[in-house]
Amino acid sequence: MPTLPPTLNRCLEWHEFSDAARQAVNNEGLRCIQAAGLTIDLSGQRDSLTLRDTATALLHTRDFPTQRARLFAGEAVNNTEERAAWHSALRAPAPITEVATERSRMNEFIRKADLERRWRNIVHIGIGGSDWGIRLSLSAFGYRQCWRTVRFLANIDGHALESALSGLDPHDTLIVVASKSFTTSETLQNAARACEWLGSAGVPHPKNNVVAITAKPDVAERWGVPRHHIFPFWDWVGGRFSIWSSVSLTTALSVSSDVVAGMQAGAAAMDQHFIEAPIEHNAPIQMALAGIINRSVLGYGSLNISPYDSRLSNLVPYIQQLDMESLGKSVDKYGRPIEVPTGPAVWGMAGTDAQHTFYQWLHQGSDGAPVDFIVCQHADHGWDEHHKLLLANCLAQRQALMQGKSYEQALAGCLAEGRDQDRAHALAHHRVHAGGRPNTLIVLPKLSPFALGALLALYEHKIFTQAIIWGLNPFDQWGVEYGKVLANDITRDLSADHIDCAHYDASTAHWLQSFNQHNKNP
């Protein structure tokens, strides 16, 4: 049995790093990094010369440079599934042959469909990584010039199925089934209903209106999708990285292939930055270090994502899956417990809506959370005053989180508003802001495909770097399997004549029987 590297808590460099983090402050000085056209402002995160030195030592003791090289070389960095995590190969400027071949197959399909003005409607059926990235790219770029109607169908909920199909002409509707495994029950059930919908409308060969994007082309063919309508990708593409694969067919059909290519180019530029930039000027690494400090040293339980652009509302669930499905683990890659808190809960909402939803908690809650603000310097609309107010709100919320408001400042404010001394003293306590709450500001010049691609890769590499420091495998997701297995028995028992409640807890047994009875006597 080879000697395993020490767990994080047994690394002297970890303790030196975390001590330096506790003593550092959210410096007021400007600390920005330029990366692939983005500006990442880390002024709201802890910083000190000692922290920088100990961070470098920590990264080296965690073998970061070697692991990063293995990632980009397509080595089996996903040790529990013995696979590579080579999504960077999908966006390489000079792609490997199999990637180039599949990319040109997809582009030919799109060119032909556009030439024939075919498939006015698209129903994209997929879930998780087979869905969020496409929703994000369409909400980012497809809200104006899309001649095709695109509906998304992810949830098994029949209401989702009905709203996805309602009002579409089946004869001019393409069903895109996106599923890496081609076993996800929601996706296969929804796809089967969509085919029935086509058939019942008189479409002669429903499966001819279906394309499948999957890492299991043989399974898709057995399911009935014509071979020339199957766009395979590879096992070394994790589900949550599918956006870089032919899963983006729907984006290319509805917005344009240029958008897909632009996003791939932006991600490739961030790849290069991540590979080449020295640690102190490496945006993903510095965001990762801030994330480790906030989570494992300062104890913040979550990370808030506040994109100040309504076209980026789907960025929140996208990063939720990317981060939480990668870092939501508590054992390292060798199965040993990790003795420090790992992956945070990721949540958020587009600003300024977020200000009217949970910013009270962020400013004055007992815990608060680090915030990633994301904003575009230039808008793609002509409402200049609106954009000015959007930028002002983003910067103001950030300033309030950083500098806070002291009791004395609050008291002065209350008195200035004309309140008497007693009233002002009483109210001032309620208007104190702790301040010093960490944040990162990411500025995109404008929301271009290149900038969005770079942003997504920035988060991918930040998450990878955090995984290396924590010592966990960010590329598997065993935690999502257990619930699926339990669902099989429960699905069976919901319509069984007899339910063996012995292996259910009291509550599950109660509701199983109740729903079972209701199904029989609605």
Closer Cβ to ligand F6P, 182 or 504, answer by number: 182
Burial class (CB in 10 A: 0-12, 13-18, 19+), 339: middle
Q: Confirm or reject binding of residue 363 to ligand F6P (CB under 6 A).
A: no
320 binds ligand F6P (CB under 6 A): no
The yes or no reply on residue 245 touching ligand F6P (CB under 6 A) is no
| Residue 181 makes contact with ligand F6P by CB under 6 A | yes
Q: Tell me the closest approach of the beta carbon of residue 243 to ligand F6P, in angstroms.
A: 10
Q: Which is nearer to ligand F6P, 368 or 474 (CB)?
A: 474
Please name which of 282, 280, 296, 283 lies closest in space to residue 441, comparing C-alpha atoms: 283
Determine whether 169 is exposed, middle or buried from the number of CB atoms within 10 Å of its CB (0-12, 13-18, 19+).
exposed
Nearer to ligand F6P, 480 or 496 (CB): 480
Tokens 């292996």 sit on residue: 503
180 belongs to the binding site for ligand F6P (CB under 6 A): yes
| Range in contact with ligand F6P (rule: CB under 6 A) among 124-132, 203-211, 326-334, 335-343 | 124-132
Residue 446 parent element (H or E):
none
Stretch that binds ligand F6P, among 97-105, 123-131, 224-232, 418-426 (CB under 6 A): 123-131
Containing H/E element for 178? strand 173-178
DSSP 284-311: HHHHHHHHHIIIIIS---EEEEEESSGG
Name which position in 26, 54, 56, 187 contacts ligand F6P (CB under 6 A). Answer: 187
Q: Does 128 bind ligand F6P (CB under 6 A)?
A: yes
> Sign of torsion, CA 190 193 195 201?
negative
The verdict on 477 binding ligand F6P (CB under 6 A) reads: yes
Taking the least distance from each CB to ligand F6P, the nearer of 28 and 481 is 481
**Count of residues in contact with ligand F6P, rule CB under 6 A:** 14
Q: Rounded to the nearest whole angstrom, what is the least distance from the CB of residue 472 to ligand F6P in the complex?
A: 16
Taking the C-alpha atoms of residue 449 and residue 260, their distance in angstroms, rounded to an integer, is 7
Q: Which of 69, 389, 426, 480 binds ligand F6P (CB under 6 A)?
A: 480
**What's 453-513 look like in SS3?**
HHHHHHHHHHHHHHHHHHCCCCCCCHHHHHHHHHHHHHHHHHCCCCCCHHHCCHHHHHHHH
Q: How far apart are CA 135 and CA 319, in angstroms?
A: 13
Name which position in 7, 45, 137, 179 contacts ligand F6P (CB under 6 A). 179
Stretch that binds ligand F6P, among 16-24, 176-184, 217-225, 362-370 (CB under 6 A): 176-184
In the numeric block, which tokens belong to residue 297?
Answer: 């040293």
The DSSP H or E segment spanning 451 is: helix 449-470
Least distance between ligand F6P and beta carbon 242 (Å): 6
What residues does 177 pair with on adjacent strands? 125, 212
* Dist CA 110 CA 113 (whole Å): 5
Q: Which of 323, 325, 332, 493 binds ligand F6P (CB under 6 A)?
A: 325
Catalytic residue among 16, 102, 325, 460: 325
Contact 33, 281 (CB under 8 A): yes
In whole angstroms, give the CA distance from residue 84 to residue 476.
11
Q: Which is nearer to ligand F6P, 37 or 129 (CB)?
A: 129
**Torsion, Cα of 343, 347, 350, 352 (10° steps):** -110
Residue from 8, 123, 127, 138 touching ligand F6P (CB under 6 A): that is: 127
**Using rule CB under 6 A, residue 240 touches ligand F6P:** yes
Q: Is 129 in the site for ligand F6P (CB under 6 A)?
A: yes
15 is catalytic: no
156/432 with CB nearer ligand F6P: 156
93: Cα separation from own chain's centroid: 24
Q: Identify which range of 127-135, 219-227, 284-292, 425-433 contacts ligand F6P by CB under 6 A.
A: 127-135
Asked if 189 and 156 touch (Cβ cutoff 8 Å), the reply is yes
Other beta carbons less than 10 A from residue 514's beta carbon:
10
Of residues 443-472, those binding ligand F6P (CB under 6 A): none
Q: Which is nearer to ligand F6P, 40 or 225 (CB)?
A: 225
* 433 contacts ligand F6P (rule: CB under 6 A): no
Active site residue 356: yes
Q: Which of 112, 429, 484, 510 is catalytic?
A: 484
What is the nearest approach in angstroms of ligand F6P to the Cβ of residue 186? 8
Catalytic residues: 325, 356, 484
The footprint of ligand F6P (CB under 6 A) covers 127-130, 179-181, 184, 187, 239-240, 325, 477, 480
